[in-house]
Amino acid sequence: MRRHRNVKIVATLGPASSDIGVIRALFHAGADVFRLNMSHGTQAEQKARYDIIRAVEAEAGRPIGILADLQGPKLRVGVFAAGPHELAAGERFRFDLDPAAGDGQRVQLPHPEIFAALEPGARLMVNDGKIHLRVESCGTGFADCVVTTGGIISDRKGVNVPDVVLPLAALSDKDRADLEFACALGVDWLALSFVQRPEDVDEARALARGRAAILSKIEKPAAVERFADILAVSDGIMVARGDLGVELPVHSVPPIQKRLVRACRHSAKPVIVATQMLESMIESPMPTRAEVSDVATAIYEGADAVMLSAESAAGRYPVEAVATMDSVARSVESDPVYREVIDSSRNIANRSTVADSIALAGREIAETTDVAAICAYTQSSMTVRLVARERPRVPIIAMTSEPQVLRQMCLIWGAHCVLTPVLERFKQAVVNAAHAAVEFDFADARQKIIVMAGVPFNTAGSTNILRVASCDEQLLSRTDPE
C-alpha cells in the first residue's frame, strides 16, 4: 500500500496502455492517478479503461485516482487545395471565414470569435507555434497578416492567439457531453482545458454538481494573468507547459511554473506539473539527463504531482517511464537539500484559521518529538490538504469514510489514503488511526502518532482538535476499530 515517496505520479492511458496487464504494471511501477485524455478515443474506450483501473484498485486494496481531461475548444485552420504551403518571412497571408480550400495567400479560419477579438498588432501562431504572423488589419471575418517567422502550413493545423482573451467558453459541446459522461462514470477529477477566466471554472463546477473535483489547466497567458482568481475557484491546478511554451516566450515558462506551484502550495490546493517531462522515453528506454533534471526541479519546487502524457499513453516504454519517474522522486526526496528547499519555501504568513493552526502545530510537534506519522481524519480533504501544505517530515495518513474523497486525495503530496467506517466520536478516529499506522508499517506499537479531526464529527471544514496518541494504548483499547 505504501509509496516510499511523497510526490504523486499521474500516468495518461492510451493505445499503449489500455489492457489490464499494462495498467496493473503502471500502478505497481508507481502510478497514483490515471488520466483519461478525452481528446483521444471514444467514450466506450474510456469506460473500458475506467473499469480496468477500478479492477486493479480492487486487486491492490489501495485507492487509485482517475482524472478525466476535457479537450477544450480546438482552433484550427481549414484545408489547402494543393497541399502544404511554405510561408516565408515578410509574406502577406489572410485568414477568413470563406470555406473554400486555401492557397498560398489565404486559408479559412472557421472561428468568428477570433476575428471579433483581434486587433492590429496581435500575433497569430500556427502549427504549435512554429509559424508566427502579425495582424496588420482585421475586421468581421478576416485578418490580413504579415509572416514574421516562416514555416510550412497545412490542413487543419492548430492556431494560437496569445495576445487577446478570446470570447470562447472553455467548454465546447463535446466537452459538455464528455463532462457528463465522465461524472456519470465516477471519475474523481475533471481537468479543464482553455481556461482563461474564473467564470470558465464556475461553468464546469455547475455542470459537475459536486460529482468530481475541478482542476484548471493553466495553458493560456490570460490564465497566468488571472491566476489568483482562477486558483480561488479551483480545487487543483495543472501547469500545462506545452501550450504555455507556445504562447509565451519559452524562457518565461520556468519562472511561471515556480510561481504557480508556490501559490498552489500556499493555498493548500494540489498542483500537477505536466507536459514533455520524459518525452524521449516515447521512443527510448532511457530519458535524457535534461529530462531527469526537469522532473527533479518540479519535485524540488514542491509540486504535488508530476505527469506523463504520451510517454505512458502512446510510447514504447510506458512502464519504464513511470518507474523512472518513481526513481527520480525517491532520489530527490532522499537528498538533504530537498528538505532544506522545501522548508525554506514554507510561508506561514497566511495561517489565519483554527484549522491552519492545528495543521501547523501538528507539523511542529512531529519535528520536535518522536512521532511516527500524522493521521488526519477528513470528510472533504481539507484537513489533509492543510497538513500537506506544511510538507511535514513524517508520513501523512489521510483517513476518510468517503470513497470519492479518498480517491481525490491520491493527488495530494504525501497523502497515504485509508478508507474508514463512518465514525461518530474522536476516540474512534484515534483507535482507527493507530490500527492503520501499524497495519501499513508507518509505526510500530511502541510509537506515537498525531491524530487530527474536527468536532462535531462528520462535518466538513471543522478541523479543531489534535491529539498525540501512543499506538500501544489504542491497540489495546476496547473501542472496536471496525
Residues annotated catalytic, as ranges: 35, 76, 217, 275
Contact in structure between 350 and 377 (CB atoms under 8 Å):
no
Q: How far is CA 437 from CA 79, 136, 307, 324, 365, in A?
A: 61, 66, 28, 28, 17
The rounded distance, in Å, linking the Cα atoms of 260 and 152 is 34
Instruction: Determine the residue type at 145.
Output: C
The rounded distance, in Å, linking the Cα atoms of 127 and 370 is 57
Cell numbers that stand for 5 in this block: 515517496
Dmax (CA) of the chain = 83
The rounded distance, in Å, linking the Cα atoms of 38 and 250 is 27
Query: Quick one: which of 38, 369, 26 has its CA closest to 190?
Result: 38
Distance between first and last Cα of the chain: 19
Burial class (CB in 10 A: 0-12, 13-18, 19+), 368: exposed
**Phi-psi domain of 63 (left: phi exceeds 0; alpha: psi -120 through 50; beta: other):** beta
Query: Quick one: which of 62, 125, 137, 60 has its CA closest to 92?
Result: 137
The H or E element containing residue 39 is none
Instruction: Determine the residue type at 324.
Output: T
**DSSP E strand boundaries for 21-116:** 33-37, 65-69, 85-87, 92-96, 106-108
Q: How far is CA 336 from CA 339, 343, 366, 370, 393, in A?
A: 5, 11, 18, 20, 12
